[in-house]
Amino acid sequence: MLLLQFSTSHYCRKARLALGYKGISYQTENLTPGMHILRVKPLTGLTTLPVLLPQIVGQPQAIGDSTEIFKFLETYQPEPSLFLPNSEQQTQAAMLEDWLDESIGTATRFVYYQFRAGEGKVIDPSLFSQMVIKVVRQQYGINDTTVELAKKRLANALLVLSMYWQKDDYLVGSRLSIADIAAAALLSPLALIPDYRQAYPQIFERIINIHQLCGEPLPPGLEDVGAQGLRPIRS
Ligand SMILES: N[C@@H](CCC(=O)N[C@@H](CS)C(=O)NCC(=O)O)C(=O)O
């Protein structure tokens, strides 16, 4: 299988976590933002990444959108399952995943690019990096006002997710689901922002655990913490 991705995208990380959890071997092709449309739109009709190309006879040529990739992977290789056996719990996990995709992943993007353009400029002050950040900010309408709204949305989400993850190791049910994977991927850009790291240590502990369960390298900002070893998820 081939995963078309932006190497730094948190939605592409989400797809990699699922592939890793299922132990499916795949290759990645990193696309250049802007130019990616030429490759992706004829395949899916969408402009977004990730896109999975199964490259297997009898399977679809291309699957766009991380949620659709989850569904495909679950049918293609049911075990280990990312869908919960209890249908009520699976519906709840799917609702959480959708909320994380549509609302929280976007809020993370706003807060992250605001940080990278300001306080976090030192991470990569190069002209190229700052130019990419500027284009992304324009593309998504990221400015002081929209960032403040995103921060409020995120604060609420982090409170709720901390509560869920503190009560149980998993957001829904008693094993890893699409909700945990979506949360781990879509909150991961916050690992580079000191305020979030200090305020929500247990969230980042969970993000590390989930990456380890999925065999996915840790996101920027967590590599060193991960090496020290954190409390494992209870079995
Ligand atoms: N709902 C989509 C969102 C994916 C998404 O927003 N991808 C961004 C990268 S993080 C993208 O491809 N943006 C480029 C564009 O919209 O042209 C999914 O889950 O796959």
CA of 102 to the centre of ligand 1 (A): 10
* SS3 call for 64: strand
pLDDT in tens, 33-59: 889 999 999 999 999 999 999 999 999
Q: Which atom of ligand 1 is nearest to the CA of 37?
A: 17
Element (H, E) at 209: helix 201-214
Give the pair of three-digit tokens for residue 195: 């305020």
Q: For residue 235, what pLDDT is reported? A: 38
CB 93 within 8 A of CB 177: yes
Tell me the pLDDT of the chain averaged across its residues. 94
From the number of C-beta atoms within 10 Å of its C-beta (0-12, 13-18, 19+), residue 206 rates as buried
32 lines ligand 1 (CB under 6 A): no
**Nearest Cα to Cα of residue 230 among 165, 153, 164, 140:** 165
Average pLDDT estimate for 109-132 = 94
The domain ranges of the chain are: 2-76, 87-218
The structure's pTM equals 0.95
The most distant pair of C-alpha atoms in the chain lies apart, rounded to whole Å, by 51
CA of 108 to the centre of ligand 1 (A): 13
**Residue 117 pLDDT > 90:** yes
156 lines ligand 1 (CB under 6 A): no
Q: Determine which residue's CA is closest to atom 19 belonging to ligand 1.
A: 66
Instruction: Give bridge partners of residue 51 from the DSSP assignment.
Output: 4, 64
pLDDT in tens, 200-235: 999 999 999 999 999 999 999 998 776 665 555 543
55 lines ligand 1 (CB under 6 A): no
Q: For residue 40, what pLDDT is reported? A: 97
CATH architecture of residue range(s) 2-76: 3-Layer(aba) Sandwich (3.40)
Same-fold call for 2-76 versus 87-218 = no
**Nearest Cα to Cα of residue 114 among 53, 200, 193:** 193
Domain 87-218 has CATH 3.40.50.300: no
CA of 227 to the centre of ligand 1 (A): 30
Quick one: what percent of the chain has pLDDT higher than 70? Answer: 96
Q: For residue 11, what pLDDT is reported? A: 98
Q: For residue 223, what pLDDT is reported? A: 86
Q: Ligand 1, from 30, 43, 48, 72: best to mutate by most atoms within 8 Å of Cβ?
A: 48
